[in-house]
Amino acid sequence: MTSQLKKDWILIILWPIIASIIMIFFKANFFTSILLYYVLPSIVISYRHQAFIIKSLLFAGASLPMLLVVDYMAVKAGSWYFPTSIFAHRLFGVTTFEVVLWMFSYVYFVVIFYEYFLDHACKVERTRYALRYVFIPFLIIFLIFLSSIIFTEIFFKVNYLYLWFGIIFAFIPIPLVLLKFPHLFTKLAEATVYFSFSSFLWEIVALRLNQWTFPGQYFIGWIEIFNVRFPFEEFLIWIVLGAAAILSWYEFFDDDGK
CA atoms within 13 A on the CB side of 192: 16
Reduced to 3 states, what is the DSSP secondary structure of residue 154?
coil
Q: What is the pLDDT of residue 127?
A: 45
Instruction: Tell me the pTM.
Output: 0.91
Distance from C-alpha of 142 to C-alpha of 67, rounded to nearest angstrom = 9
Query: 168: closest CA among 81, 249, 82, 57?
Result: 249
CA atoms of 192 and 6, how far apart (whole Å): 19
Instruction: Going residue by residue through the chain, which has 258 residues, state the pLDDT in tens, using 9 for 90 and above.
Output: 788 889 999 999 999 999 999 999 999 999 999 999 999 999 999 999 888 899 899 899 988 888 888 899 899 889 999 999 999 899 888 999 999 999 999 999 999 999 999 986 555 555 445 567 777 777 887 787 777 776 665 556 778 999 999 999 999 999 999 999 999 999 999 999 999 999 999 999 999 999 999 999 999 999 999 999 999 999 999 999 999 999 999 988 765 555
Report yes or no: 77 and 97 within 8 Å, Cβ to Cβ.
no
The pLDDT, as a whole number, for residue 153 is: 59
pLDDT tens track for 217-236? 999 999 999 999 999 999 99
Rounded distance between C-alpha atoms, residue 34 and residue 178, angstroms: 30
pLDDT of residue 136: 79
Q: Report the b/e string of 91-120 with b at 16+ CB within 10 A.
A: ebebbbebbebbbbbbbbbbbbbbbbbbbe
Contact status, residue 100 vs residue 64, Cβ threshold 8 Å? yes
How far apart CA 148 and CA 92 sit, in angstroms, is 11
Of the candidates 241, 211, 246, 238, the one whose C-alpha atom is nearest the C-alpha of residue 20 is: 211
Structural domain boundaries of the chain? Answer: 3-254
Task: Report the pLDDT value the prediction gives residue 75, as an integer from 0 to 100.
Answer: 93
Q: Where are the beta strands (DSSP E) in 2-125?
A: none
How far apart (Å, rounded) are the C-alpha atoms in residues 249 and 206?
Answer: 27
Cβ-contact 187, 114 below 8 angstroms? yes
- How many other C-beta atoms can be found within 10 angstroms of the C-beta atom of residue 26? 11
Distance of alpha carbon 241 from alpha carbon 75, whole angstroms: 21
